[in-house]
Amino acid sequence: VLIAGNWKMFKTPSETAEFCAALRDREAELEDTDVVVCPPYTSLHHAVSVLAGTSIAVFGQSVHWASEGPYTGEVSATMLGELGVTGAIVAHSERRQLFAETDETAALRVEGALDGGLSVIACVGETESEREAGETDAVLRRQVEALRVVVDEDHLDRLALAYEPVWAIGTGRTALPDDAGLIAGLIREQLRETLNTEMGEQVRILYGGSVNPGNIKDFMAKTNIDGALVGGASLDPDQFAAIVRYRI
Ligand code: PEP
């Protein structure tokens, strides 16, 4: 199970250090779950320092595909890696909607990050209007296919896909666990079809969209959901730890 907290543009370096110290103190309670925090770039160093020696990993919120170059505002896998950051979110819907991320740039980022030694949480999901137009399956198929073609078989254990219906992010509205489970099943099927069966099983599929301590169990009960990407509820160490400890 993988539970990742996406902090978006929240928490300064000192707030990050405070949060990470609180989470570190609770490490023994975090079960055998892979726990990841994704602070803003300016807070990554503080998160890595405070969490050093724990099993809690620190990821960036995006990453460029080149190792260096004239790309103002971007950072590379090499730069993140030297900092002690071990992975990155790619193509979050806010990047797709507000910062012109496309399936093509998402694929390049996934490839660059995996080749650069990072783990990746790549986000897919339909918007409300796509959902209403009955296009959910087609949109997901297109988004997953774009990512799949760049993934080297040797890197599959470092790749997770997050199914995040855009209308459920930061809205307090969640997908019905049954629907999320069904869509995770479709994504799994697509991975199995295009990779070989065994490899399709290796990629972890997360659900994201208004996950909280009260609803996490319902999502985790679904066969093809292997974890969660959590936004708002990951900003508070008590709530985030409660989500990680959903089994109790
Ligand atoms: C997210 O940002 O990935 C997310 C799922 O946000 P929230 O949990 O706040 O809906």
Contacts of 46 (CB under 8 A, 6+ apart): 13, 14, 16, 17, 20, 39
**Residue 88: what are its φ and ψ, rounded to 5°?**
-155, 145
Could you tell which of 169, 207, 219 is best to mutate to test the pocket of ligand 1, judged by most ligand atoms within 8 Å of the CB?
Answer: 169
Is 6:234 a contact under the CB 8 Å cutoff?
A: yes
83 CA distance to ligand 1 middle (Å)? 25
Give the pLDDT confidence score for residue 247 in this predicted structure.
Answer: 85
CA-to-CA separations, 239 to 86, 113, 174, 227, 244, in angstroms, rounded? 24, 29, 17, 16, 9
Is 161:124 a contact under the CB 8 Å cutoff?
A: yes
> What is the C-alpha separation between 23 and 42, in angstroms, rounded?
19
Active site residues: 92, 164
144 CA distance to ligand 1 middle (Å)? 19
Give the pLDDT confidence score for residue 217 in this predicted structure.
Answer: 97
Residues counted in the chain: 248
User: Largest Cα–Cα distance of the chain, in whole Å?
Assistant: 49
Nearest CA to ligand 1 atom 2: 231
The amino acid that residue 170 corresponds to is: G
CA-to-CA separations, 16 to 9, 52, 165, 204, 238, in angstroms, rounded? 12, 14, 27, 27, 14
Query: Where does residue 104 rank: exposed (0-12), middle (13-18), buried (19+ CB within 10 A)?
Result: exposed
Nearest CA to ligand 1 atom 4: 231
Is 183:136 a contact under the CB 8 Å cutoff?
A: yes
170 CA distance to ligand 1 middle (Å)? 5
227-230 and 87-90 beta bridge pairing: unpaired
Contacts of 91 (CB under 8 A, 6+ apart): 101, 105, 106, 109, 110, 122, 123, 124
Give the pLDDT confidence score for residue 33 in this predicted structure.
Answer: 94
> What is the C-alpha separation between 121 and 62, in angstroms, rounded?
9
Q: H or E segment at 21?
A: helix 13-25
Give the pLDDT confidence score for residue 116 in this predicted structure.
Answer: 96
Is 241:219 a contact under the CB 8 Å cutoff?
A: no
pLDDT digit string (tens) for the chain, length 248 residues: 999 999 999 999 999 999 999 999 998 888 789 999 999 999 999 999 999 999 999 999 999 999 999 999 999 999 999 999 999 999 999 999 999 999 999 999 999 999 999 999 999 999 999 999 999 999 999 999 999 888 888 888 999 999 999 999 989 898 999 999 999 999 999 998 877 767 778 899 999 999 999 999 999 999 999 999 999 999 999 999 999 999 88
Nearest CA to ligand 1 atom 1: 231
